[in-house]
Structure 1
C-alpha cells in the first residue's frame, strides 16, 4: 500500500510539474506569437498564375494587373513598375495622389498603353516609356492614356490631344474629351456661356467635328457603334452618324449609360413591351434584335443590374449577390457570390465568405477562395493580397 501511495504521489507530482511546465510554455508561446503577429504579420500583394501558384512573392503595399509587360506597384507610399519576373524596372518614385485625374472617365492612365504611361511630377502629368525615361515632360493638369496614337490632355481647364512626341495635334478647347476609339473621340465645348450654348459630338484625328449630337448624353464608340440620346431616348449610331438602332430605350442614371456600350456584339438595354408583358432589361444585338429576353430569378429581375459581356459571360447582381450568365442568358454561376469582377484571361474573380478566388467558364472554382483582395488576370498573372509572416 505504501509503495502504491508513493507511486500515486510521485505520479501526481510529475503530473502537476508537467501541467505547470506546459502552461508556462503555452503562455510564453502565446505571448511570443502575439508579438510576432503584431510586429511582422501583414497583408502584402504578389502575383499568381492560372494554377494558383505564387510566381511573384507578396512584398508590395498595392499591385495592379500587367499591361504591356509592366505592372504598377506601390512600395512605401510611392509607385513604380515591375516586369513579369517581379524585377523592379522603374523605381518606386511617383506620388500619384498629388493629381486628381478622372478615373471614372478614363481607364487608369498609369498603366502602359501604346508603350507609354502617365507619370506625375508635382501636380503635373507627363509620359514615360517602359524604361522609365521621360518622353513627354510633365506640363499637363490631367491626361488620359494613349489610344490610336493620341492622348487627351488638359491645359488651363481645356482639353486637347497630343501625339507620342508631345506635339499638340488638336488644340485645347474642349470642356470634355474622351479617348479615341474606332477613329473618333467624344467631345463637348462651351460656345456661349451666357446662353449655355454648347457644341457636342465626335471628332476625328484632325480635330474635325464629323458627327454632331443634340446633347452631351452619349457614349464612346465600341465595335463600331455608340449609344446616343435624342429627346431623352437612347439608340445607337455608326461611325458615319447614321442611326443603326433608332432611339427607343430609356436610362435612369449615368451608370446605366456606361453599362449599355456594345460589347462582344451585345448591349444591355431597358425593354418596354406591353405586348410581351414586360418592363425590364435584356440584351440586344447590333441590329437591335432582342437576343436575351428579360428573366426573373427568385422573383427578382435577373438582368436588372447586369453588366456588359466579357469573354462570353456577363456578371449579374440580384439583391446583393453576384452571378454570371452566358450568351444565352443561362446562369453558369447562381447569384450566390458576395462580389465579383468580369471575366479576363479566361477567369473571373469571385468573393465568397470574405475571401477571393477565381472561377472558370463552367462556374467552378479553379483557384479556391483564399485571398484578402485580388485584381483580374491579365497577361497570365493576377495580383493578389495575402497575409505574410516573416521569420
Structure 2
C-alpha cells in the first residue's frame, strides 16, 4: 500500500496529507494514521497515530506558528535541543522521540508546547506540569494553569498560587491573577487589587478598588472612587484626588 507524501511550504496554507520539517523529516499518512519518515524514505516513527505535532530545536525557540490543517500540525520549539513529537492516539496525547522511544505514554487529554521549561498537561480534567526531562512536576490537581515568560500561576481550590524556581510560592493566596505586564502582575484578594513582581513578591497589597497594568514604571489605581498612581516599589506618588486620569 502506498504511503502518500507531500512536502508543504510553511508560507502557504494548504490542505494536505503530510508535511515536512526543515530538518529532513516528513509526516506521512497511511490508512488515516500518521508517522514520521526521513526524506530518504527511512521510517522513523511508524504510522500509528491519529495526530502528530512536531518539535524543532532550540535555535528556533520562541517562534510561534500554528497551521490549522487536517492533521493539526503545530510546530513546537524546545530549549534543550531534544527532538521529539507529540502524538495523539485513541484521543490521548503522549510524547515520542525521533528514535521512536516513548518518552511520555499517550495518557493525557492535552499536552501543550514546551514554554518556560514546562509542558502543561491535562488528565481527568485536571492540569499539571511536565519538566524538560518529561517528568511530572508535582501532582496533576490544578483547575487551571497560566504559563508566562517568568512565572507560572497555578489554580486550585478556587485560589491562585505562584510556581517559580520549581517551588510553590504564596500558595492559594490570590482570588484572581493576571499575566505579567512590564514585569508586574495584578491580583485580586477579597475584591481588592494589588501587584506582585516577577518573583511573586507583593509590591502593593490588595487595597485598591481597581488597578491598571503597569506602563513605563507606573500604574494607575482607583481608591474610593479617586484615581492615583503608584511606582514600581508600590509607593503612591499622586494623592487620590482625581476622578479621571491617563496611564503613564
TM-score bin (small chain): 0.5 to 0.7
Structure 1 contact 226–236 (Cα < 8 Å) conserved = yes
Structure 1 contact 128–134 (Cα < 8 Å) conserved = yes
Shift, 1:173, TM fit: 2.6
Shift, 1:81, TM fit: 3.8
Between the two proteins, the alignment pairs up a number of residues equal to 183
Shift, 1:188, TM fit: 0.7
Aligned to 1:218: 212
From the superposition, tell whether residues 44 and 180 of structure 1 become closer, same or farther in structure 2 (CA, over 3 Å).
farther
Distance 2:163 2:173 in 1: 13
Distance 1:123 1:68 in 2: 25
Distance 2:26 2:233 in 1: 47
Aligned to 2:77: 67
Aligned to 1:376: none
Structure 1 contact 72–79 (Cα < 8 Å) conserved = no
Aligned to 1:157: 158
Structure 1: segments with no counterpart, 5+ residues? 1-35, 37-41, 97-108, 191-197, 250-287, 289-391
Distance 1:248 1:124 in 2: 40
Distance 2:147 2:217 in 1: 22
> Which string of whole-angstrom CA distances, capped at 9 and with x for unpartnered residues, describes residues 80-124 of structure 1?
34668998644433103xxxxxxxxxxxx8232332222223222
Distance 1:57 1:235 in 2: 56
Structure 2: segments with no counterpart, 5+ residues? 5-14, 29-33, 35-51, 53-70, 238-243
Aligned to 1:137: 139
Distance 1:209 1:168 in 2: 18
Aligned to 1:184: 184
From the superposition, tell whether residues 45 and 169 of structure 1 become closer, same or farther in structure 2 (CA, over 3 Å).
farther
Structure 1 contact 236–247 (Cα < 8 Å) conserved = no
From the superposition, tell whether residues 228 and 92 of structure 1 become closer, same or farther in structure 2 (CA, over 3 Å).
farther
> Which string of whole-angstrom CA distances, capped at 9 and with x for unpartnered residues, describes residues 216-275 of structure 1?
4633x57x557756599x9997634578xx9437xxxxxxxxxxxxxxxxxxxxxxxxxx
Shift, 1:133, TM fit: 1.4
TM-score (ref. length: structure 1) = 0.37
Aligned to 2:65: none
Distance 2:152 2:138 in 1: 11
TM-score (ref. length: structure 2) = 0.53
Shift, 1:65, TM fit: 2.9
Distance 1:86 1:227 in 2: 51
Shift, 1:137, TM fit: 1.6
Structure whose CA Rg is larger: 1
Structure having the larger proportion of residues in helix? 1
From the superposition, tell whether residues 54 and 217 of structure 1 become closer, same or farther in structure 2 (CA, over 3 Å).
farther
Distance 1:88 1:228 in 2: 50
Aligned to 2:94: 80
